[in-house]
Amino acid sequence: MAVIPFLRHPLTRGVDIDDPNTTVLRRQIIKNKPFLRSLYSEWYSVICSRLPVQQDSILELGSGAGFLKEYLPQLITSEVFPLDGVERGEDATALHFADSSLDAIIMTDVLHHIPDVELFFAEANRTLNQAGD
């Protein structure tokens, strides 16, 4: 569903939602708006409090505009396109990780961008360490 144009931030009006430059603009907006940065900080604190005890290998899908790595320095950041400040290019439906190699997968505002969520959930199931079950 498209965002109603008048609700978009002025810097992102008229730009392609999936363009890497749009993600750079979003990162700038979040960084420079204290209220938005505060909301993200609160959200990140909640996420961190819910992570498994074992935190050696945590993947964030769709890291582009955010700053979760400030809260989790060991976080593996990823995006579907190359982007400064993001470590890996990853397709959520074909993750480049071995079976049972991840302790957690984190996403914020990403699931609706994944074209085949069933395939993503199969990949998440394959790559997540199930030892804690």
Question: For 70-82, what is each residue's pLDDT tens digit?
Answer: 999 999 999 999 9
Specify the pLDDT at position 20. Answer: 86
Specify the pLDDT at position 5. Answer: 62
Identify which of 111, 133, 101, 108 has the alpha carbon closest to the alpha carbon of residue 48: 108
Specify the pLDDT at position 127. Answer: 98
Residue 112 is given by DSSP the state: G
Question: For 30-59, what is each residue's pLDDT tens digit?
Answer: 999 999 999 999 999 999 999 988 788 999
Is residue 128 helix, strand or coil?
A: strand
Going from N- to C-terminal start, the domains of the chain cover 5-127
**The residue to which tokens 């708006």 are assigned:** 33
Single pTM value for the model: 0.86
Q: How far, in Å, CA of 76 to CA of 2, rounded? A: 29
Alpha-carbon radius of gyration of the chain: 15
Is residue 89 helix, strand or coil?
A: strand
Angle at 37 between CA 36 and CA 38, to 5 degrees: 90
Q: How many residues does the chain have?
A: 133
Asked if the 5-127 domain carries CATH number 3.40.50.2300, the reply is no
